Amino acid sequence: MRGLVPFVSYRLFRALIALWLVSTVVFVVMRLSGDPVPLLLPPDAPPSEMERVRRDLGLDRALPVQYAVFLGNLLRGDFGRSIHFREPAARVVMGYLPATFELALAAFGLAVIIAIPVGLISAMYRNSVVDHTVMGLALVGQSAPTFFLGILFILLLSLQAGLFPTSGRGDWTNLVLPALTLGAFAMASIARLTRSAVLEVMRADYIRTARAKGLGEAIIVAKHTLKNAAIPIVTITGLQFGTLLGGAVVTETVFSWPGIGRLAVQSIYNRDYPVVQCAVFLSAVAFIVINFAIDLIYGALDPRIRAG
């Protein structure tokens, strides 16, 4: 296990730097947004009242001091109060988190369950009609705009075929279309990578050896190919889970899914900056934590990574 400690601490250091940069950007953006005080008070509030609120919020202090206070508040999970909901922004965002988590998990599960077998079949029947069709679809899935994919699903599978509800959150039928939409990009990427990883392994000498000693194709695939193709597949799969969070903003808006992505967009319309900041920051934390975890899993799977 030599090399694990430097590996983990280097990754941890990078994750912390990324978090710090994100929070600094959030601070700068918040400063750019101008004076929040008029938004908090009725329009006819006297100047003395404005002064008092400004002092209460610490806005009369020097910028570096404000920055330090801001970072301190972040560490304690204090994002200020929501202007629209009139409760702490962090509590508002937390209330919307389960829906996003449910959607991301469903999208991810769907992507993995469909993409890995499909990629495997594509590789085994290379250059067949099935392979070409699947890879063509994967290309479409990778470059189609998420929001329009959602609209197409609603139009074809919901309005025309009547298979699924168009929007909202409820039982599993509500989950299918948003999960497909959100998972499409990940699905396409994982399928393409599985195909190329399996093809790569199939060329290896030990596969030829396995064939030469008369092993059946099923055993070769199950015991030799998949196991060795697993590392790149796990990596891209993990990376894709991270990108789902960004896609959630669009998908949730299209399907009126009550998650933090839609909350963030609506809070922008409501000029509810504390909620926007909290949602952006929490997404960043989730994203960075997931990537950090993937790095660790990857390092554990493949000793060569730790050495590098």
Partner 1 sequence: MVPSTPASARADAAPAALPRVARRRRRLRVPLLTAIGLVFVLLLGLVALTAPWIAPQDPTRQSLRGRLAAPTLEGADGRAHLFGTDHLGRDVLSRVMWGSRVSLSVGFAAVLVGGIMGSTLGILAGFRGGWADSIIMTIADAQLAFPFILLAIGIIAVLGPSFPTLIVVIGLSGWVAYARVLRSQVLTLRSREFVDAIRALGGSFPRIILQHILPNVLSTLVVIATLELARAIVLEATLSFLGLGIQPPTPSWGGMVQEGREYLDSAWWISTVPGLVLMATSIIVSRAGDWLRDVLDPTLRGE
- Please, which residue, 186 or 264, has the CB nearer to partner 1? 264
Which of helix, strand or coil describes residue 282? helix
Q: Does 245 sit near partner 1 (CB under 8 A)?
A: yes
Q: Does 40 sit near partner 1 (CB under 8 A)?
A: no
Q: Name residues whose C-beta falls within 8 Å of residue 83's C-beta, 6 or more positions apart in sequence.
A: 39, 40, 270, 271, 272, 273, 274
Among 100, 174, 240, 291, binds partner 1 (CB under 8 A): 291
- Please, which residue, 66 or 243, has the CB nearer to partner 1? 243
Contact 182, 146 (CB under 8 A): yes
The stretch near partner 1 (CB under 8 A) out of 61-69, 102-110, 123-131, 274-282 is 274-282
Q: Does 107 sit near partner 1 (CB under 8 A)?
A: no
- Please, which residue, 221 or 236, has the CB nearer to partner 1? 236
Residues 203-242 vs partner 1: string with x where CB under 8 A? ---------------------------------------x
Q: Give the Å distances, CA to CA, from 113 to 91, 237, 271.
A: 34, 11, 40
249 burial level (CB within 10 Å; 0-12, 13-18, 19+): buried
Q: How many CA atoms lie within 13 A of 129 on its CB side?
A: 0
Q: Does 181 sit near partner 1 (CB under 8 A)?
A: no
Q: Does 264 sit near partner 1 (CB under 8 A)?
A: yes
Least distance CB 196 / partner 1 (angstroms): 10
> CA nearest 276: which of 17, 40, 85?
85
Q: Does 33 sit near partner 1 (CB under 8 A)?
A: yes
Which of helix, strand or coil describes residue 250? helix
- Please, which residue, 192 or 224, has the CB nearer to partner 1? 192
Residues 111-140 vs partner 1: string with x where CB under 8 A? ----------------------------xx
Q: Does 63 sit near partner 1 (CB under 8 A)?
A: no
> CA nearest 251: which of 170, 162, 156, 185?
185
Q: Does 21 sit near partner 1 (CB under 8 A)?
A: yes
Give 180-215 as a DSSP string.
HHHHHHHHHHHHHHHHHHHHHHHTSHHHHHHHHTT-
- Tell me the C-alpha distance between 51 and 122, whole Å: 67
Residues that bind partner 1 (CB under 8 A): 14-15, 17-18, 21-22, 25-26, 29-30, 32-33, 139-140, 142-148, 151-152, 154-155, 159, 242-243, 245-247, 249-250, 253-254, 264-265, 268-269, 273, 276-277, 279-280, 283-284, 287-288, 291
